[in-house]
Amino acid sequence: MKTEFLKYTGLTIVILLMVVDSGAEARPPLQTVLEEAAGKSHTLNIGRAELDKAQFKRHMVYQTYLPNVEFNTSFRSLDERIQFQADPVSFPLPGGNDLQVQVPPVTLQDRNTFRANVEVTQVLFTGFKVPRLGRAARHGEQAAEWSMEADKQELLKEVTEAYDKLALLDQSLKVIDRADERLEEEQRVADQAYEEGLIPAFDLTRLRIAQRDLEKQRIGIEGKRELAARNLEHLSGIGWEQFLEDTSELSLIAIDPANLKPDNRPEIKALEEAGRAADQKYRAARSDYLPEVYAFFRQELYEDDLSVLEPTRAMGVGLRWNVFDGFNRSRKVQKAERDRIIARERLEEVTSLSSLDQKQAEVKFSVADQQLRVSEETLKDARTSLRLSRERYRLGLGPVSEQLEAETDYQKAELDWLEAVYDQRRAAIDLLRASGTMSVDRIVMLEQN
């Protein structure tokens, strides 16, 4: 009975462990991290708000043509009534006399008056100012879109760098684990050889020191892994524990620098649109010299206090022409002209810097590719050296220091090779960023190739 109970208890524990293990979340793939980071980024959220503001500004410009409806009320008290005083009227009478009749004064406006009316005005012509400001707002909106794209590409670069850094630490930890397994195997062989009196205690001590050195490296890498995971949590909002549940591989990114040019950089596109917006604003400022045409309609809502000369309803067309405004209009034109110069200079500067950035990225990618090939050859030689030194040590032809030195060289060669792969990936991503062709889909496609 007790045996059966233990069987069922053990089976239950195994099932529970399987359920718990299946519920553990694996490390999210790079595409998920990139998408989550794009949704969480405060910089991109600010960019979206700036884009909304640019759209609102464009709508506000064209709303100038919409009717403006106003309700006006007022109470006015004069010092006296406004009256019209007529001369006396004479009526001739028989006998040559005239009858003088005094006509009472006609009141044109009472002393206390109350007014209430509704007035509708609508702009018909602004001297081409509104269409030009509308085009300027549209270019400003497109500039905001490109600026947000530049911020997004910079974010993708930062996230991929953090993700690759974690993958580099993952693989570095595996290098340490494999080295530790080799040293443990050598430790077992050395213990047996020491018991048989084939090696001195010094060799055992050197092996233990080497194992402790590996443990020290492992502790450092584990700490760096946690920091890298927390950095990814900060960027994406995904819990940092998920990034430590699994490991990622480091693979090379195949890319042809000849097909990448800096012409597509969003920073350049944004400044081009900003320059077009500045041109339209300059033209709109010059349009202030033209008159404005508008239509109006006014309806009096309270007619009791109206004077006999005031209509209850009026409509028509008006023209406003600001002939002199204290040179304010001229200053606006001058300011708009300076804005055009600033936009043009910024575009030329960024275009030049982008070309330089592209060249630097190409050189960096070429250097990383060459260093990777050197690291591969070094790794092959270090692997051969380690194999030969282990055989020499087991045959008693070489000291333990020779084997440990070969082990250290092989570890360093493996870590250097991983670092070279990491550098090649970073150089490829920098090249994509320099050409302005970085996107989530592009990165995922390169990862799958």
Mean pLDDT computed over 223-235: 95
Interatomic CA distance for residues 78 and 111, integer angstroms? 5
Q: How far is the CA of 162 from the CAs of 206, 217, 403, in angstroms? A: 37, 20, 36
Return all residues near 281 (Cβ < 8 A) that are at least 6 apart: 132, 133, 136, 336, 339
pLDDT over threshold 90, residue 341: yes
Give 198's pLDDT tier (boundaries 50, 70, 90): low
Domain ranges of the chain: 28-68+128-292+344-448
pLDDT over threshold 90, residue 343: yes
Which amino acid, one-letter code, is at 72? N
Half-sphere exposure of 154 (CA within 13 A, CB side): 13
Are the CB atoms for 112 and 80 separated by under 8 Å?
A: no
Interatomic CA distance for residues 440 and 431, integer angstroms? 15
Count of all residues that appear for the chain in the document: 449
pLDDT over threshold 60, residue 9: no
Return all residues near 201 (Cβ < 8 A) that are at least 6 apart: 194
Please give the structure tokens belonging to residue 120: 């509708």
Query: What pLDDT, on the 0 to 100 scale, is given for residue 5?
Result: 39
Interatomic CA distance for residues 154 and 237, integer angstroms? 18
Which amino acid, one-letter code, is at 323? V
pLDDT over threshold 50, residue 186: yes
Q: Report the DSSP beta bridge partners of residue 113.
A: 76
Burial of 190 (0-12, 13-18, 19+ CB in 10 A): buried
Three-class SS state of 398: coil
DSSP H or E run through 68:
strand 68-77
Mean pLDDT computed over 381-401: 81
| CA 36, chain centre distance (Å) | 13
Please give the structure tokens belonging to residue 214: 């590996």
Mean pLDDT taken over the chain: 86
Nearest to 48 by CA among 248, 297, 40: 40
Give 140's pLDDT tier (boundaries 50, 70, 90): very high
Return all residues near 104 (Cβ < 8 A) that are at least 6 apart: none
The angle subtended at Cα 223 by Cα 222 and Cα 227, nearest 5°, is 115
pLDDT over threshold 90, residue 132: yes
Are the CB atoms for 152 and 43 separated by under 8 Å?
A: no
DSSP letters for 258-285 = GG--GGG-HHHHHHHHHHHHHHHHHHHH
CATH superfamily for domain 28-68+128-292+344-448? Outer membrane efflux proteins (OEP) (1.20.1600.10)
pLDDT over threshold 50, residue 165: yes
Q: pTM, whole model, 2 decimals?
A: 0.80
More confident residue, 362 or 11: 362
Interatomic CA distance for residues 260 and 253, integer angstroms? 15
pLDDT over threshold 50, residue 253: yes
